[in-house]
């Protein structure tokens, strides 16, 4: 049975073991998701979108913070003193509450994270009087893709495409090879373009009546 242990964390963080890192991320995500969901519901930290979308966003941020600064928050866990669900649940709750406070004090924090526009630009897309893709369309495309992805692929999407993190960091987090990252990112970009085209096709184009 796969279990989260200090030894697994040490191998993933200190030894930079790719297999250990993959397992660590897979075991951590359910713990983080459960506590973040409870925290947002209890303290009213959800934004204007769906709770699931907010939870997904907070999971990515908490995961990034756990892995930052040499992973010291992960390495500080002592299994004989507290269970993994308790220790990392408390950390997830603290980070989530910090983010909620920032969100409430900063009006710009409410703006949704869009998929980078260049990733969705199509050279054959007709120009209806504007060279700027509607930001609402970008938001909807990103939300739809996130809903389709597994937890692992969602981490890859957020890090590699939305945050545009360095490839080496993405590979370290997910424990994948350079070729695997390239192929996975290519599949995500293709799917993004498919979703964009579907949404554009479903959006009626307003036709201005000629003035008499």
Distance from C-alpha of 212 to C-alpha of 176, rounded to nearest angstrom: 63
* Alpha helix ranges (H) inside 46-177: 51-67, 72-75, 84-105, 117-120, 135-148, 151-156, 167-174
Q: What share of the chain is helix, strand, coil (3-state, %, to 5)?
A: 70, 0, 30
pLDDT digits (tens, 9 = 90+) for 40-49: 877 765 555 5
Residue 7 is encoded by which pair of tokens?
A: 């030894």
- Give the single-character DSSP code of 28: H
Query: According to the model, what pLDDT value does residue 204 have?
Result: 59
Query: According to the model, what pLDDT value does residue 120 have?
Result: 43
Distance from C-alpha of 212 to C-alpha of 205, rounded to nearest angstrom: 22
Distance from C-alpha of 188 to C-alpha of 173, rounded to nearest angstrom: 18
Averaged pLDDT, groups of 10, the chain, 212 residues long: 89 90 91 86 63 82 88 91 88 88 57 46 40 65 84 75 74 78 90 89 56 45
Distance from C-alpha of 204 to C-alpha of 164, rounded to nearest angstrom: 32
User: Vertex 2, ends 24 and 75: CA angle to 5°?
Assistant: 35
Query: According to the model, what pLDDT value does residue 7 have?
Result: 95
pLDDT digits (tens, 9 = 90+) for 171-186: 766 677 888 888 988 9
**CB distance 51 to 13 below 8 Å:** no
Query: According to the model, what pLDDT value does residue 108 have?
Result: 40
Distance from C-alpha of 92 to C-alpha of 58, rounded to nearest angstrom: 9
Query: According to the model, what pLDDT value does residue 178 have?
Result: 87
The number of beta carbons lying within 10 Å of the beta carbon of residue 101 is 12
Query: According to the model, what pLDDT value does residue 49 have?
Result: 56
Distance from C-alpha of 16 to C-alpha of 13, rounded to nearest angstrom: 5
Distance from C-alpha of 133 to C-alpha of 121, rounded to nearest angstrom: 8
Query: According to the model, what pLDDT value does residue 77 have?
Result: 93
Longest dimension (CA), the chain: 82
Helix (H) or strand (E) holding 92: helix 84-105
């Amino acid at each position: 049975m796969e279990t989260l242990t200090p030894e697994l964390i040490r191998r993933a963080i200190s030894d930079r073991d790719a297999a250990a890192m993959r397992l660590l991320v897979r075991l951590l995500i359910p713990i983080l998701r459960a506590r973040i969901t409870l925290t947002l519901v209890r303290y009213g930290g959800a934004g204007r979108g769906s709770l699931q979308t907010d939870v997904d966003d907070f999971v990515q941020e908490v995961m990034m913070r756990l892995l930052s600064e040499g992973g010291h928050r992960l390495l500080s866990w002592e299994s004989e003193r507290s269970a993994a669900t308790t220790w990392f649940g408390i950390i997830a709750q603290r980070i989530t509450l910090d983010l909620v406070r920032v969100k409430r004090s900063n009006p710009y924090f409410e703006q949704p994270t869009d998929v980078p526009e260049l990733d969705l630009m199509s050279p054959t897309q007709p120009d209806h009087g504007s060279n700027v893709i509607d930001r609402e369309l970008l938001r909807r495309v990103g939300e739809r893709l996130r809903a389709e992805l597994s937890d692992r692929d969602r981490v890859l999407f957020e890090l590699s495409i939305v945050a545009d993190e360095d490839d080496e960091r993405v590979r370290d987090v997910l424990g994948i090879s350079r070729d695997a990252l390239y192929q996975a990112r290519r599949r995500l970009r293709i799917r993004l373009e498919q979703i964009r085209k579907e949404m554009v096709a479903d959006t009626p184009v307003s036709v201005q009546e000629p003035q008499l």
